[in-house]
């Protein structure tokens, strides 16, 4: 039995993208307005924003392991260079207070201003190198645990959309809307073990799960937008490992208030069982 947590992907998706939502819904008198009744999402990131979370491991049934509780602090700082056509990105720096380990994430928002009325909305949230770093970690775990004689190459880093709230025409997405993350059709990774090639097909999809779901943050009940990212690894077209990542963004406080990566396990042909432990993060304070 080999047990591993699925990367700073977990840290990666503990992504405190700041969500600032206007105080009223799009409820004008135009009955044809596709956004009528939806509260607009207008994400604003700010240097100096700080958040504290409680972090827990999840067991094989995705229940919190209470003895694993620890604090996790997050701070935002403005980026200072042009990174693949964008200079409006931020460093998101996290620190686990039990181990003092730090992680860094680069993220930005695609925010658009409507020419019709001047209102702004955030179409999507983007993370630099999301797919690349995630697959690099998976390759690293295969190397560490199973010692392949040949390893795959993967596409380089780029900006990946990990959350989406509107379509390309500015219409609010309905719950259930999905999008691909990374190259269309996924990525093939070929590992070699003693002359035997074992292909792994990686596909990643995002999904808007729900609107206006109530979640507790500290002692406060907040309204959230729930989204998910599902990573699916298909090994030799015979077994699949699916890793659901779920996160909740709120309007007040302006951040992600909860995150969950569910536990997963798979028997890899010719290799053995690979188990990935789950984790959850819950916002408790902010300033």
**What pTM did the predictor assign?**
0.82
Nearest to 108 by CA among 88, 93, 85: 88
DSSP state at residue 48 = T
* Cβ atoms of 15 and 107 closer than 8 Å: yes
Give the C-alpha separation, 61 to 286, whole Å: 30
Residue keyed to tokens 């259930």: 176
Binning pLDDT at 50, 70 and 90, where does residue 12 land? very low
Give the C-alpha separation, 221 to 258, whole Å: 12
Give the C-alpha separation, 120 to 170, whole Å: 10
Does residue 199 have a pLDDT over 90?
yes
Sequence-ordered alpha helix ranges (H) in the chain:
8-13, 130-146
Q: What is the pLDDT of residues 231-284, one digit of tens each?
A: 899 998 888 888 888 888 777 777 788 999 899 888 887 778 878 889 999 999
pLDDT of 70: 97
**Tokens standing for residue 112:** 């658009």
Q: What is the mean pLDDT of the chain?
A: 84
pLDDT of 221: 93
Q: Output 27 or 51, whichever has higher pLDDT.
A: 51
Nearest to 174 by CA among 43, 44, 35, 42: 35
Contacts of 144 (CB under 8 A, 6+ apart): none
* Cβ atoms of 56 and 69 closer than 8 Å: yes
Q: What is the pLDDT of residues 162-182, one digit of tens each?
A: 888 889 988 989 999 999 999
Q: What is the pLDDT of residues 203-224, one digit of tens each?
A: 999 999 988 888 999 889 987 8
| Coil, helix or strand at residue 168 | coil
Does residue 190 have a pLDDT over 90?
yes
């Amino acid at each position: 039995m080999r047990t591993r947590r699925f990367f700073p992907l977990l840290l990666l998706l503990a992504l405190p993208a700041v969500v600032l939502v206007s105080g009223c819904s799009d409820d004008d008198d135009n009955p044809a307005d596709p956004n009528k009744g939806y509260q607009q999402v207008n994400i604003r990131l700010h240097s100096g924003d700080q958040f504290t979370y409680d972090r827990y491991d999840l067991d094989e049934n995705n229940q919190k392991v209470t003895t694993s509780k620890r604090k996790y602090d997050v701070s935002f700082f403005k980026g200072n260079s042009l990174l693949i056509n964008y200079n409006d990105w931020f460093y998101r720096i996290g620190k686990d207070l039990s181990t003092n380990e730090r992680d860094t994430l680069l993220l930005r928002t695609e925010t658009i201003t409507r020419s019709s009325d001047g209102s702004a909305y955030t179409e999507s949230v983007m993370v630099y190198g999301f797919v690349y770093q995630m697959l690099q970690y998976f390759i690293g775990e295969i190397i560490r645990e199973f010692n392949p004689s040949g390893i795959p190459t993967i596409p380089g880093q780029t900006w990946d959309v990990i959350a989406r709230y509107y379509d390309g025409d500015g219409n609010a997405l309905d719950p259930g809307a999905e999008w691909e993350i990374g190259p269309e059709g996924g990525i093939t990774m070929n590992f070699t073990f003693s002359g035997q090639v074992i292909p792994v097909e990686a596909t990643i999809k995002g999904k808007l799960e729900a609107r206006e779901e109530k979640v507790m943050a500290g002692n406060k009940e907040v309204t959230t937008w729930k989204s998910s990212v599902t990573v699916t690894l298909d090994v030799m077209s015979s077994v699949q490992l699916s890793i659901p990542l779920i996160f909740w963004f709120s309007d007040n406080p302006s951040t992600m208030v909860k995150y969950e990566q569910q536990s997963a396990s798979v028997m890899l042909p010719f290799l053995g069982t690979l188990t990935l432990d789950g984790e959850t993060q819950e916002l408790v304070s902010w300033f």
